[in-house]
Structures are given as C-alpha cells and as structure tokens.
Amino acid sequence: MIEARYHDSVNVLQALTGAGTAAPFDRAEWFALLAETGLEPLVAIASDAGETAALALTEAGGRITPLRNWYSFTWRELAPAGPQGDRLLEAIARQLKSRGWRVTLEPVPGEDGSAERLARAFRAAGWHVGVKPCDINHVLPVRGRSFAEYWDTRPGPLRTTLKRKAKKVEVEVLTRFDAGVWADYEAIYAASWKPAEDQPAMLRAFAESEGAAGRLRLGIARAEGLAVAAQCWTVENGIAYIHKLAHLESHKPLSAGTTLTAALFQHVIDTDRVTLVDFGTGDQSYKADWMEEVRPRFRIDCLDPGALRAWPPLAKRLLKRGG
C-alpha cells in the first residue's frame, strides 16, 4: 500500500539523493541551500515496497511550485525509474490536491523523460495539465573531441578574437574554492552588466561545498594584476555546468571573458574529459558561438477541476484550446 506524506524539512531527501544524482540541482544539499534563503519546503513523499519518490516543492496561497530559484538550471522529480516510480508519482500528485489547487512545475527537462513523466502522473491523478516550453538550454555534446578539434569548428570571429586578445590577460583555473578569487568574482559581478545577485550568500556556500567535493572549476582572468573576468563552473557525472560568468565593462576591449571561457572549455574537455557542457537556461546570443545544440525546458501547469479557484484559469485554458 502506497503511503504519501509531507515534510517541511529537506533533510528527508538525503536518502533519495547523493553522488549518483543526475545534476547538482537534484541533491539534498542544493535544496538545503534553497531553504536557507527563506523558501519554505513542502517535500511530498510516497513510499511502497521499499521504493520512495519525492517532489521538492514550496506552497503559498494554495499554489504549489518547485523548491528552486534562478540558479537552478532544472527541476525534476526524485523517483525511481519504471512503473513503480510512476505509481508513486501519481500518488503524490493525487495527494497534492489536499494542499493546493494549482501546481506549476518548471523548468523541467524533456530529454530525460521528466516532463512527459510528470505530466502523465498528474493527469492520471485527475489534474488538468498543460505543458508548454518555458525556456531553452544550450549544450555542447563533446563527442570525444579534443579542445583543439572543438575549437576548429567555432565561428571565425570568435577564433580570431581569442588569437588577437589571449596574450593580453593571464588566466587561472582553480579546482578548489579560494576566498580571494571569490571576492574578485563578486567585485567583477557587481561592476558588470549583470543584474544584482539574488542570493549571493547561497552561491558562495554552493561554491565552497563544490570546491570541497572537488567539483568546482573557478576561473579568473587578470590584466596587469587586476581581476577583469571571472567564471564559476562545476563538473559532475561527465557534465560541465556553467553557472556564472562576468567581466568588467571598463575592460571590455580586452575580451577577457572570451579568453577565460576558452580556458575553461579546454580544461573541462581535455583534463576533466566531460561528455557534455551545459550553459544553463536563457537564449543569449553569445551562447550559440560556443554551443551546438538547444534543448527545451518545460512548464507543467496543473489545475484541480474540483477546486473552485481553479475554474477561471481552467475555463481560460479550455477556451484558448477551443474546448
């Protein structure tokens, strides 16, 4: 018999996540960092016959959304593969009707089957489900190439920029956390074109923990001793994740960001031997120069037809679909 329950602590996810999880954003430690920012966890869990599935969520006013913030590339279910995991997810979806009238899950990947699986579970549990692309993800499948082989396929202007500007800055790629370099990163980011950090303390704590685990790749570029560009990457399960990058606008003619990005690509391809580089979400034009494929990210919007509050958006959805 399936048992469904709720927890307000992410500690219960420790048994479900670990070193073998698909991405940094699936680990209990990641959800713990999110909870420390003030998000209130609603962890929905279902268990049966020694198998357990969970959804890491948060709830406000009857609207249930993922436990995530803008640093999260993806959000997905934490469930065993196969029919048993599907049944557990359906049980969670059915039980969630007691906690809210609308469940909106995003950004859910499609390439691993998560979007289809979650939509199927909520439909089976009686929710009216809408699925739409909400973002895109630029990636580079390495396909066994060396950095030199990869670089030969890049656009001519990008290769020319690196050839002309690479000697103008000194780059360093660290595989550990360094407080001084992180302070340089924060100063560069604050002076860059980027919007203000949402949760800088969380990002630093993440970098510290990834550094302790050996997964951090922290890049810094300096011109005459001044830090002018910085980037934060991690490497895990054969995938390099590009989390943050910034450069000083005052030193833009140096193209330090391009030089540093190339150095990090070379490191993760030739030294770490990754099979994929993930540039996160967003359709910034510069990503296309470095990456070769685009994957959609989905929003799964679930309305409970039995809840009065769901009727207006449900009617709007049905009218838009033509019935």
Q: What is the pLDDT of residues 83-126, one digit of tens each?
A: 999 999 999 999 999 999 999 999 999 999 999 999 999 999 99
Residue 61 and residue 88 in one domain: yes
Confidence label for 323 from pLDDT (cuts 50, 70 and 90): very low
DSSP string, 166-232: GGGSEEEEESS--HHHHHHHHHHHHHSSSPPPS-HHHHHHHHHHHHHTT-EEEEEEEETTEEEEEEE
Is the pLDDT at 192 greater than 90, yes or no?
A: no
| Residue predicted with more confidence, 2 or 126 | 126
Q: Tell me, what CATH number does 101's domain have?
A: 3.40.630
Is the pLDDT at 44 greater than 80, yes or no?
A: yes
Residue 150 and residue 184 in one domain: yes
| Residue predicted with more confidence, 14 or 229 | 229
**Residues 225 and 172 sit within 8 Å (Cβ to Cβ):** no
When mean pLDDT is compared across 10-24, 153-167, 236-250, 307-321, the lowest value belongs to 10-24
Domain for residue 283, yes or no? no
Provide the token pair at 252.
């833009």
Give me the count of residues in the chain.
323
pTM above 0.85, yes or no: yes
Residue 95 and residue 161 in one domain: no
| Counted domains in the chain | 2
**CA atoms of 65 and 75, how far apart (whole Å):** 10
Residue 21 and residue 93 in one domain: yes
**CA atoms of 40 and 46, how far apart (whole Å):** 20
The number of CA neighbours under 13 Å toward the Cβ of 109 is 21
**CA atoms of 310 and 210, how far apart (whole Å):** 41
Residue 131 and residue 149 in one domain: no
Distances (CA, A) of 284 to 137, 164, 287: 10, 24, 6
Q: What does the pLDDT look like over 128-177, one tens digit per residue?
A: 999 999 999 999 999 999 999 999 999 999 999 999 999 999 999 999 99
Quick one: pLDDT at residue 228? 97
Quick one: pLDDT at residue 195? 77
The vertex-22 CA angle with 19 and 28, nearest 5°, equals 55
Is the pLDDT at 21 greater than 70, yes or no?
A: no
Residue 56 and residue 118 in one domain: yes
Residue 155 and residue 93 in one domain: no
Quick one: pLDDT at residue 240? 98
Look-up of token digits 């679909």: 321
**CA atoms of 276 and 48, how far apart (whole Å):** 35
Q: In what order do the strands lie in the sheet with 216-223?
A: 3-7, 41-48, 51-60, 63-66, 102-109, 293-303, 128-141, 276-281, 239-247, 226-236, 216-223, 170-174
**Residues 139 and 277 sit within 8 Å (Cβ to Cβ):** yes
Is the pLDDT at 209 greater than 70, yes or no?
A: yes
Sequence-distant (≥ 6) Cβ neighbours of residue 269 within 8 angstroms? 142, 145, 146, 147, 150, 277
Residue 161 and residue 188 in one domain: yes
Q: Tell me, what CATH number does 229's domain have?
A: 3.40.630.30
**CA atoms of 52 and 6, how far apart (whole Å):** 13
Domain for residue 263, yes or no? yes
Enclosing domain of residue 244: 144-274
Look-up of token digits 């859910």: 108
Provide the token pair at 245.
């990058």
Confidence label for 18 from pLDDT (cuts 50, 70 and 90): low
Residue 127 and residue 169 in one domain: no
Q: What does the pLDDT look like over 46-77, one tens digit per residue?
A: 999 889 999 999 999 999 999 999 999 999 99
The number of CA neighbours under 13 Å toward the Cβ of 20 is 5
Domain for residue 280, yes or no? no
Residue 93 and residue 185 in one domain: no
Quick one: pLDDT at residue 239? 97
Sequence-distant (≥ 6) Cβ neighbours of residue 147 within 8 angstroms? 265, 266, 269, 270
Domain for residue 289, yes or no? no
Distances (CA, A) of 232 to 11, 21, 154, 181, 248: 27, 20, 22, 11, 15
Q: Give the number of other CB atoms < 10 A from CB of residue 68.
A: 21
Q: What does the pLDDT look like over 256-312, one tens digit per residue?
A: 999 999 999 999 999 999 999 999 999 998 999 999 999 999 999 999 999 999 999
